[in-house]
């Protein structure tokens, strides 16, 4: 037994013995989100310092072998790169590692990540070269994830933005195919679809639903579910889809995992908006009775020319109402902290008041007392349970300018805008 133990000690590799500690360091980076970010930095700094001391204690004799020397340089570079900011020393060690042993795939991955932190365009292109070089050694889930995220970053403001985002989707799908149970790959795929939805003008609702499906699969993975940004981005999709109760729950989940996200502020904004929409819908926009009667009288005197069948709110069914039009008057614009959509409370000829959300038009286009005709309106009975309160009102959603007549006229091209939403709360 003693001789066997001696052989084990002789064959032990202190470099390999440190691999679990380095993996643990990155686990802290990816899953520990205290209320005070300084606490996380201090924990990472201490753990990294301890590992670096152990690396430095490994004898030069042990490191003399080429493969061990390369692995030592890689390990030191990876530990130094654990922080959010670019580290020149980390770059130097990782560069030495790949020169000594180009087959170290994770060294290529780490070096790409290190370049990425520089932020300038040249560094981002260098990061992509590292990821592509790493993939030449064979399919690699982690590198495909990084490449997908980087491509979304490279797409911003570029002349081929849509094409680059499509490449991001492709690489995220490839990462999923390598391990369908990895929630991180699903999360990155969801972000790619979400970005594609935005860059294509926010017209393709299917991409938004694909993003949501990917997020929902990611949440089934305990490790991925610990990521607060997954829940924050899910909340953003739910909010855009006007599934407000799920948006509130997802913001809450994000805030519980990382108080530093200030998701509670998003919850407060949304709750205030819902309270306004309910109040104005129940109280005729808080418009004085005499003015309300005058507004409705002018509505009844108007004749709108449209091939769609004219109906009132009570005739609408839940969901999209094809082939119908609702003529109504704007009672009040409902201000809120978000950039989209535009919210109003309107009334039809039967004095039914409801919330109206409008996307993809200029924010100053629709004014109080304007006549609006809603074509193929998407109708919903809203009942949101949040804490001790139920927010209840009727709502109609208009996604495209073509679904709207303003004072009996179509929305002009100049007044139509692209709705912009982003999936990059977490650094992409």
Burial of 301 (0-12, 13-18, 19+ CB in 10 A): exposed
Higher pLDDT among residues 11 and 109, named by residue? 109
Q: What is the mean pLDDT of residues 200-212?
A: 87
Instruction: Give the pLDDT confidence score for residue 412 in this predicted structure.
Output: 92
Q: Does residue 234 sit in the same domain as residue 327?
A: no
Distance, CA of 212 to CA of 208 (rounded, Å): 6
Q: Do residue 236 and residue 328 come from a single domain?
A: no
Domain membership flag for residue 258: no
Residue 213 belongs to domain with CATH number: 1.25.40.10
Q: Give the number of residues written for the chain.
A: 428
Cis peptide before 341 (omega within 30 of 0): yes
Place of tokens 């009942």: 383
What pLDDT sits at residue 157? 87
Residue 108 is inside which H or E element, if any? helix 105-116
User: How is residue 328 written in tokens?
Assistant: 């109504």
Give domain status of residue 5, yes or no. Answer: no
Is a pLDDT exceeding 60 seen at residue 1?
no
Q: Exposed/middle/buried for 130, CB within 10 Å: 0-12, 13-18, 19+?
A: buried
Name the least confident of 91-95, 304-308, 319-323, 325-329: 304-308
Q: Which of 246, 263, 286 is where one domain is finished?
A: 246
Surface-to-core class of residue 269, CB atoms within 10 Å of its CB (0-12 exposed, 13-18 middle, 19+ buried)? middle
Digit-coded pLDDT (tens) for 338-381: 767 999 999 999 999 999 999 989 999 999 999 999 999 999 99
The Cα 122–Cα 148 span in angstroms is: 18
147: left (phi over 0), alpha (psi -120 to 50) or beta: alpha
Residue 360 placed within a domain = yes
- Beta bridge partners of residue 334, listed in sequence order: 343
Residue 421's pLDDT band, with cuts at 50, 70 and 90, is low
Spatial distance between the Cα atoms of 211 and 217, rounded to a whole number of angstroms: 10
Q: Binning pLDDT at 50, 70 and 90, where does residue 299 land? A: confident
In a domain, 411, yes or no: yes
Over 50: is that where the pLDDT of 154 sits?
Answer: yes
Q: What is the CATH number of the domain that holds 320?
A: 2.40.50.550
The DSSP secondary-structure symbol of 193 reads H
- pTM for this entry: 0.89
pLDDT interval class at 221 (50, 70, 90): very high
CB 316 within 8 A of CB 356: no
Q: What is residue 239's predicted lDDT score, i.e. its pLDDT?
A: 94
In a domain, 311, yes or no: yes
Supply the pLDDT for residue 422. Answer: 54
Judgement on whether residues 372 and 231 belong to the same structural domain of the protein: no
Rounded CA separation 391/211 (Å)? 27
- Co-location of 108 and 190 in the same domain: yes
Does residue 265 lie within any of the structural domains?
no
Separation between Cα atoms, residue 376 and residue 401, nearest integer Å: 12
If asked whether residues 237 and 290 sit together in one domain, one would say: no
Residues 227 and 304 in one domain: no
**Interval 56-66 mean pLDDT:** 94
408/405 Cα distance (integer angstroms): 5
Residues 354 and 313: their CA atoms lie apart, in Å, by 8
* Segment 389-412, tens digit of pLDDT: 999 999 999 999 999 999 999 999
Answer whether residue 421 is part of any domain.
no
* Residue 198 confidence (pLDDT): 87
Same domain, 195 and 344: no
Whether residues 307 and 162 fall in one domain: no
- Domain-located, residue 110: yes
**Structural domain of 129:** 11-246
Same domain assignment for residues 167 and 303:
no
Distance separating alpha carbons of residues 142 and 105, to the nearest angstrom: 10
2 has a pLDDT exceeding 50: no
**Percent of the chain scoring above 70 in pLDDT:** 94
How large a percentage of the chain has pLDDT more than 90?
A: 84
Quick one: average pLDDT of 248-261? 95
Mean pLDDT, residues 32-57? 95
Task: Check whether residue 184 and residue 333 sit in a common domain.
Answer: no
Q: Could you give the CA distance from residue 223 to residue 227 in angstroms, rounded to a whole number?
A: 7
How many domains does one find in the chain? 2
State the sign of the Cα–Cα–Cα–Cα dihedral 95, 96, 101, 106: negative
Instruction: Please name every residue paired with 392 in a beta bridge, in sequence order, or none if there are none.
Output: 383
5 pLDDT higher than 50 = no
Q: Does position 9 have pLDDT exceeding 70, yes or no?
A: no
Residues 289 and 210 in one domain: no
CA 31/CA 316 separation, integer angstroms: 47
Answer with the residue of higher pLDDT: 18 or 198.
18
Local confidence band at 116 (pLDDT 50, 70, 90 cut-offs): very high
Per-residue confidence (pLDDT) for residue 319, from 0 to 100 = 96
Same-domain status, 122 and 17: yes
What is the reported pLDDT for 3?
42
**Residue 307 — pLDDT band, cuts 50, 70, 90?**
confident
The per-residue b/e assignment along 204-226, b for 16 or more CB within 10 angstroms, e otherwise, is eeebbebbbebbebbbebeebbb
């Amino acid at each position: 037994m003693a001789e066997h133990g001696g052989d084990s000690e002789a064959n032990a590799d202190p470099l390999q013995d440190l691999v679990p500690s380095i993996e643990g360091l990155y686990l802290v980076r990816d899953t520990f989100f205290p209320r005070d970010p300084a606490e996380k930095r201090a924990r990472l700094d201490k753990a990294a310092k301890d590992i670096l001391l152990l690396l430095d204690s490994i004898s030069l004799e042990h490191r003399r072998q080429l493969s061990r020397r390369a692995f030592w340089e890689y390990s030191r570079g990876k530990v130094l790169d654990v922080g959010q900011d670019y580290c020149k020393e980390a770059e130097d060690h990782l560069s030495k590692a790949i020169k000594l042993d180009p087959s170290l795939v994770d060294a290529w991955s780490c070096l790409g990540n290190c370049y990425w932190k520089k932020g300038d365009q040249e560094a981002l292109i260098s990061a992509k070269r590292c990821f592509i070089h790493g993939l030449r050694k064979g399919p690699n889930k982690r590198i495909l994830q990084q490449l997908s995220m980087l491509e979304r970053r490279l797409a911003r403001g570029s002349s081929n933005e849509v094409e680059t985002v499509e490449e991001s989707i492709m690489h995220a799908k490839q990462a999923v195919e390598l391990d369908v149970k990895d929630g991180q790959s699903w999360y990155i795929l969801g972000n790619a679809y979400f970005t594609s939805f935005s860059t294509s003008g926010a017209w393709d609702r299917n991409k938004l639903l694909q993003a949501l499906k990917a997020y929902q699969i990611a949440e089934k993975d305990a490790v991925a579910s610990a990521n607060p940004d997954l829940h924050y981005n899910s909340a953003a999709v739910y909010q855009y889809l006007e599934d407000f109760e799920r948006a509130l729950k997802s913001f809450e989940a994000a805030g519980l995992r990382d108080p530093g996200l200030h998701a509670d502020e998003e919850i407060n904004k949304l709750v205030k908006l819902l309270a306004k929409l309910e109040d104005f819908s129940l109280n005729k926009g808080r418009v004085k009775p005499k003015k309300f009667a005058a507004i409705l009288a002018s509505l009844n005197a108007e004749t709108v020319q449209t091939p769609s069948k004219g109906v009132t709110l009570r005739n609408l069914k839940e969901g999209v109402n094809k082939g119908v039009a609702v003529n109504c008057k704007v009672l009040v614009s409902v201000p809120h902290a978000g950039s989209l959509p535009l919210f109003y409370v309107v009334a039809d000829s039967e004095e039914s008041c409801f919330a109206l959300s409008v996307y993809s038009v200029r924010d100053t286009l629709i004014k109080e007392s304007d006549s609006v005709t809603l074509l193929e309106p998407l109708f919903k009975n809203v009942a949101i349970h949040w804490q001790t309160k139920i927010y209840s009102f009727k709502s109609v959603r208009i996604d495209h300018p073509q679904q709207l007549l303003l004072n009996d006229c179509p929305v002009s091209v100049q007044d139509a805008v692209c709705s912009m939403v982003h999936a990059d709360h977490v650094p992409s």
